[in-house]
Amino acid sequence: MHSLPRQIRPLYASLLQLKHKTQIQLPSQRLLAGWTRSFHAGTSLRVLELAFDYHENGGKVTGAPIVFLHGLFGSKRNNRSMSKALARDLSRPVYAIDLRNHGDSPHHRIHNYTALAEDTENFLQQHNLKDVTLIGHSMGAKTVMTMALRDPDCCANIIAVDNAPVDAALTSDFPRYVEGMRRVEEAKLMDLKEADEMLEPYAKDLPVRQFLLTNLIRPSPSDPLKFRIPVRTLANALDDMADFPFTNPDAQRFNKPALFVRGTRSHYVTDETLPIIGRFFPRFELVDIEAGHWVVSESPEAFRQAVVEFLQAKE
């Protein structure tokens, strides 16, 4: 497996309409190392305080922080190994966070990219994080793009993994995943194997089912399994997850370095989206990695290498 870096120049700027639609087929402060901290919703109805893991390579980190955002139905746990590797290789602290309605972070009925961006901006302010690199996969990728366009001073650069700054008409399996998760929860199952069997008609691929089932918890030994994520809230947010809050690159633009990583077997970032990426992010670089949508887990070494090379070149 290898990555193919390509610098995309602003010459694409005149090639696209401002509003781009595409069809996408989804595959569906110093702390102790590895320390986890959970927060609860405060007085604000919109901005939530986020849970996170902190990785510092045994106290050896000295550089600017990295903040790592997961995708839909994921959590900070998905990025634990990669966060540790980046902290080690780059000597930079890594904060892997749980976005709202995911992992150990609070739940809220509003789930869109503006709300996700506001939560993460609040996280940066709370922890006084400067010169940050924002890394996000899928839903997390659109979140870091939103943050960069809302306030270019919030970060030094971004890395967007397998998503593009477009409104996308989704043809996906995600509604089926949601229906299967609902049925699992309503059945009040006690056994993980039973949950896997019930979910199988809705998520045929075993890796996808295993990913979804990481959200199953048992509140106490005598309680049935339940999903720690608010399934109904996220089901209602699927259209918002396909959306993107910015449509005019002449009004908002991020003129700092940006790396876009896409899986060669994924349909999230098509060649047709590259011109609009170039208009919003004129200094962007593109790296293709031999993988599907789940780039970080499918090709971790190629992803690690791409990120390290990009960030070391910016030092």
* Neighbour tally for 19: CB within 10 Å: 11
Name the DSSP letter for residue 132: P
Tokens describing residue 234: 């996220």
Q: Could you tell me the two tokens for 121?
A: 């901006």
Element containing residue 39 per DSSP (H, E): none
CB 149 within 8 A of CB 159: no
Return phi, psi of residue 263, to 5°.
Answer: -85, 135
Q: In whole angstroms, give the CA distance from residue 68 to residue 120.
A: 10
Which residues carry out catalysis?
138, 293
How far is residue 123's CA from residue 47's CA, in Å, rounded to a whole number? 10
Contact predicate 277/260, CB 8 Å: yes
